[in-house]
Amino acid sequence: MTALTTLLITVLVAFSAFEATFALYAERAFGFTSVTIGYMFAWIGVVLAIVQGLLVGKIVPRVGERRLVPAAILLIGLSLALIAAAPTVPLLALFSGTLAMGMGFNSPSMLSAISQLADPRDHGSTLGLSQSLGSLARIVGPMWGGWMFDAFGIRVPMVAAAVLMLVASLLSVRAFRGVLTHTAMEPAR
């Protein structure tokens, strides 16, 4: 397992902990109903679609995965911390949008980096393993987030996920520095 696969798992555990507890958090902190929670997730989905559909293809060639992934993970971490501290619904929506931007840039860029670093003979097995481990992370994250929500309070899963993302951002800088010498990982000049 590569350092980037470990980062992918870390990000997915943290993000899925957020996904699993956000509705409960929004209900208790802001009085959201199932309808308003649905609107918030729709907002997050629209931002993700715009980022992945319109921006990733333009930004990645200019910036490169090596720089974009750590910045995106940092944005996710900061957004999670700000969501936990948001005093109003408009700020909650704003920070949820920045979270979606980070995930929109991170997910395809991370998978691209993993693919580019894989031995050409092992592309399929490397991506398959990454996706399988990602599925496991999507099982662990909600259990971890739910446990923290019940045991420690409604904001703790987001704060813990934020800390995990900030650590992952720092580790991603180191991982990219250590393993990326491929010209495909550098931005076009």
Mean pLDDT, the chain, rounded, equals 88
Cβ atoms of 118 and 127 within 8 Å: the answer is yes
pLDDT in tens, 60-106: 999 988 899 999 999 999 999 999 999 999 999 999 999 999 999 99
N- to C-terminal Cα distance for the chain?
Answer: 31
Determine contact, residues 14/165, Cβ cutoff 8 Å: yes
CATH number assigned to the domain comprising residue 99: 1.20.1250.20
Residue type, 167: V
Secondary structure of residue 189 in the 3-state scheme? coil
Q: What is the pLDDT along the chain (189 residues), one digit of tens a residue?
A: 477 778 888 999 999 999 999 999 999 999 999 999 999 999 999 999 999 999 999 999 999 888 999 999 999 999 999 999 999 999 999 999 999 999 999 988 887 777 776 667 776 776 777 778 888 888 999 999 999 999 999 999 999 999 999 999 998 888 777 665 444 455 554
What is the rounded CA–CA span in Å between residue 161 and residue 143? 13
- Residue 148 belongs to some domain of the structure: yes
Determine if the pTM surpasses 0.85. yes
Helix (H) or strand (E) holding 187: none
Does residue 186 lie in a domain region? no
Output DSSP code: residue 184: G
Does residue 185 form part of some domain?
no
145 φ, ψ to 5°?
-65, -45
Is 188 within a domain?
no
Number of structural domains found in the chain: 1
The verdict on residue 138 lying in a domain is: yes
Per the domain annotation, does 28 fall within a domain? yes
Q: Which of 155, 176, 133 is nearest to 24 (CA)?
A: 155
Asked if residue 114 is part of any domain, the answer here is yes
Q: Give the domain extent around 168.
A: 3-180
